Amino acid sequence: MSAMVNKMLSAYGQAQVDSGVATASPHKLISMLFEGALAAIGNANVHLDRGDVAARGAAISKAIAIIDEGLKISLDLEAGGELAENLTALYEYMSYRLLNANLKADKAGLDEVAALLKELKSAWDAIGNVSAVKPVVAEPEPPRVAASYGVA
């Protein structure tokens, strides 16, 4: 492909992302952050296999930025309590592992963080699916008037 076609495709892809962000719910935005971090780690793995150190570093830097400046920053430590604190620590660990993976060309580090992100994304998406489902309200059981008066 020519450089011009690559630029056009890149611009189209960015427009799609921008459009998706503009219309997404807050829940969907977090899901998109997970997707972006996973895509960046996937790209880092490809560049690791190819031996392209600069591209690998850029992809890992993008993943770290999404984790630190998107996922971690979106946590409400006051309202989220212990769960938010634990997620903050997990995101810090992920960033550390990614940094180390870049410095040591460590595929296992990339894979570990990808697995953690997939698990979190799966849980996050499940929460969204639950909140989108209309609750089923059971019919109330008719009162047992006779039993409440000691008559069987």
Q: What is the pTM of this model?
A: 0.73
Q: Report the topology of domain 26-125.
A: Four Helix Bundle (Hemerythrin (Met), subunit A) (1.20.120)
Which of 42-56, 70-84, 138-152 has the lowest average pLDDT? Answer: 138-152
Q: Where are the domains of the chain?
A: 26-125
Give the 3-state secondary structure of 95-122.
Answer: HHHHHHHHHHCCHHHHHHHHHHHHHHHH
Per-residue pLDDT at 151 exceeds 50: no
In the structure encoding, which two tokens stand for residue 4, read together?
């011009």
- pLDDT tens digit sequence for 13-51: 444 555 555 667 888 889 999 999 999 999 999 999 999
User: Which element (helix H / strand E) includes 9?
Assistant: helix 3-23
Return the exposure string of 59-76: e unless at least 16 CB atoms fall within 10 Å of the residue's CB, then b.
bbebbbebbeebbbeebe
